Amino acid sequence: MLTSKIPIIIKKYNLHFISLFLIILCISLSNYFTNFKKKQNFDFQKLLENIYLNKTSTSIIENLDPRYEKIIIKVKSGDNFQKILNQIEIGSGEKQKILKEVLKKKSVSNLLKGQKIIFKIDKRKSKKIIELLVEMSKTKSILYSLNESTDKFQYKEIQKSLKRVVSYKESIISNSLYESSIKNGIQPNVIIDFARVYGFQVDFQRDIWKNDSFQLMYETFLDDNKRIVETGNIIYANLNLQGKDLPLYGFKTKEGYDYFDNFGKSIKKSLMKTPINGARLSSSFGMRKHPILGFNKMHRGTDFAAPEGTPIMASGDGKIVRARWCGGGGNCIKIKHNSTYSTVYAHLSKFARIAKEGNRVRQGQIIGYVGSTGMSTGPHLHYEVIENGKKVNSQTLKLPSGKILKGKERERFEIEKIKIEVTKSELIAGLN
């Protein structure tokens, strides 16, 4: 009987043991998961308190929904500040406040084509302009910053510091001076200056031959990123035309910066030989069959064929006495240089900003652009030189030369020449 109850007792104890084991196991697992969760929460809290994570998460949020918006507007012809401001999506009250505050300064009252205006807008404040940057030039900007305590704009001039570097280039002319210069990394405005400097004694269309060469040393100004922001004066230049060197040295006199040959003689003449670069002489001064009228007629000027829009330079210092429509001459400009000489430029596509009657212009200054207005068969410049009231051949005209350096100025020039030659030699040798 007892023997028969033993299996039942063992079975009963086994059941109790298993139940106890399961209870202990549940308690242990519960404690483990509770502690694990606490640790997780603690670690997560620590992560949230981590500065880097805070910055990162803030950055992510801002990238998803940026607080500040930057709008860059490039000034077009005919734009004024009010017109530009109307392009910005802000309230009328905000626009009036900006106009009142900013128009006090001249920086936005006379905007020029190509200028940049940069707006910084706080989108979380009903699209409020908090910064306004006006780029006045490549080196100067005007910053208007909103002072939140006074709700007024503060005015500040920002001047970029530039590093002056002297560049040296030389090349054989294969097709054209311009093409060879561009291939050698010379900036277009330097090429224009180069053509202007030699424009008194060289006709770039007829005097330059294939395999002629040039040397050029000029100033460049670099920003902090070593990018060329602007170029300065040509320091030294040389044209080798069919084996003959024509060296020129930049030198500052009392009258200003000028160019002189080896003997201290200025190459500047009263008028440039050609007032346009990159053109072809298409019709000379004299009798010819008129291309439109069809009969022989005296052509009292020189025609230079060039692509429409090619810049035209004032061939000498003077006063603009005509800048308007001239009948068969189309858009034309007349400059009175002195009591002896005047020049006329006809068939222009448009006038430069400076080309207004009464304005004074400098030699080499751009006054207009090649076109085909008036009685014309194609884009070209009709150029006239008037001497003592009579139209003369500009290509055969003997013009007075510039000044010759003497005394102390000549001594300074000779010293400057030596310095230039030393710098040139160092640049060629890679020592500078």
**Max avg pLDDT among 9-23, 50-64, 95-109:** 95-109
- Provide the 8-state DSSP code for 168: E
Q: Which residue type is seen at 174?
A: S
Residues 423 and 382 in one domain: no
- Identify the pLDDT of residue 395: 77
Question: What distances in angstroms separate CA 34 from CA 27, 59, 198, 351, 422, one per listed residue?
Answer: 11, 34, 90, 85, 84
Domain count, the chain: 3
Phi first, then psi: give them for residue 172, nearest 5 degrees: -90, 135
- How many other CB atoms are there within 10 angstroms of residue 428's CB atom? 13
pLDDT: which is higher, 261 or 96: 261
Residue 42 belongs to a domain: no
User: Where a domain ends, among 144, 159, 174?
Assistant: 159
Task: Find all residues with CB under 8 Å of 115, minimum gap 6, and list them.
Answer: 74, 75, 134, 135, 136
Q: Which residue has the higher pLDDT, 60 or 424?
A: 424
Mean pLDDT of 10-26: 61
- Joined together, the tokens standing for residue 300 give 């009292």
Give the rounded distance of the alpha carbon of 375 from its chain centre.
Answer: 36
The CATH number linked to 379 is 2.70.70.10
Asked if residue 224 and residue 322 are part of one domain, the reply reads no
Compute the distance between CA of residue 250 and CA of residue 48 in angstroms, rounded to an integer.
66
Are 153 and 185 contained in the same domain? no
Would you state the torsion angle of the CA atoms of residues 346, 349, 352, 353, taken in this order, to the nearest 10 degrees? 120
Summarised one tens digit per residue, pLDDT across range 105-145 is 666 667 777 888 888 887 776 677 778 888 877 778 888 88
Closest CA to 117 of 140, 84, 147: 84
User: What is the Cα–Cα distance from 192 to 138, expressed in whole angstroms?
Assistant: 19
3-state secondary structure of 383: strand
Assigned domain for 275 exists: no
Of 108, 137, 159, which residue sits at a domain end? 159
For residue 156, CA distances in Å to 107, 152, 325, 387, 388 come to 11, 13, 44, 52, 53
- The span from the CA of 412 to the CA of 33, in Å, is 92
What is the domain-level CATH number for residue 212? 3.10.450.350
53 phi/psi in degrees, rounded to 5 = -65, -40
Quote the tokens at residue 368.
């207009």
* Tens-place pLDDT, residues 82-116: 787 777 777 677 777 777 777 666 666 677 778 88
| 223 within 8 A of 162, measured Cβ to Cβ | yes
Residue 219's pLDDT is: 93
Per-residue pLDDT, averaged over 300-322, amounts to 89
Residue 51 lies in a domain: no
Residues 328 and 227 grouped into a single domain: no
Kindly tell me the burial class for residue 292, based on how many C-beta atoms sit within 10 Å of its own C-beta (0-12, 13-18, 19 or more).
Answer: exposed
Tokens at 120, concatenated: 């910084």
Residue 60 lies in a domain: no
| Distance separating alpha carbons of residues 391 and 301, to the nearest angstrom | 8
Residues 143 and 172 both lie in one domain = no
Are 346 and 424 part of one and the same domain? no
Q: Is 285 found in the same domain as 318?
A: yes
Write a three-state SS string for 295-356: CEEEECCEEEECCCCCEEECCCCEEEEEEEECHHHCEEEEEECCCCEEEEEEEEEEECCCCC
In whole angstroms, give the CA distance from residue 119 to residue 72.
6
Instruction: Tell me: do 323 and 413 sit in the same domain.
Output: no
Q: Among the three residues 159, 186, 211, which one is the final residue of a domain in this structure?
A: 159
Task: Say yes or no: 406 and 263 in one domain.
Answer: yes
Over residues 396-422, the pLDDT tens digits come to 777 766 778 999 999 999 999 999 999
Same domain as 388, residue 284: yes
Pair (248, 334) in one structural domain: no
Rounded to whole angstroms, the Cα distance separating 149 from 164 reads 41
State residue 60's pLDDT score: 47
The C-alpha torsion from 123 through 128 and 130 to 133, rounded to 10°, is 100
142 vs 137: CA distance, rounded Å: 10
User: What are the distances in angstroms from CA 188 to CA 1, 171, 178, 278, 289?
Assistant: 121, 15, 8, 12, 37
In a domain, 115, yes or no: yes
- Domain shared by 286 and 380, yes or no: yes
- Rounded to whole angstroms, the Cα distance separating 360 from 364 reads 12
Instruction: Tell me which amino acid residue 240 is.
Output: N
Q: What is the pLDDT of residue 85?
A: 78
Residue 361: burial class (beta carbons within 10 Å; 0-12, 13-18, 19+): buried
Residue 19 lies in a domain: no
What is the DSSP secondary-structure string of 37-73? HHHHHHHHHHHHH-HHHHHHHHHHHHHHS-SEEEEEE
Q: How confident is the model at residue 2 (pLDDT cuts 50, 70, 90)?
A: very low
59: in domain: no
Residue 330's domain comprises 280-392
Please answer whether residues 271 and 401 qualify as being in contact, where contact means their C-beta atoms are separated by less than 8 angstroms.
Answer: no
pLDDT digits (tens, 9 = 90+) for 343-373: 999 999 999 999 999 999 988 899 999 999 9
Q: Which of 360, 376, 279, 371 is nearest to 314 (CA)?
A: 360
What is the Rg, in whole angstroms, of the alpha carbon atoms belonging to the chain?
A: 38
Domain assignment present for residue 323? The answer is: yes
CA of residue 157 relative to chain centroid, distance:
20
Confidence of residue 61 (pLDDT cuts 50, 70, 90): very low
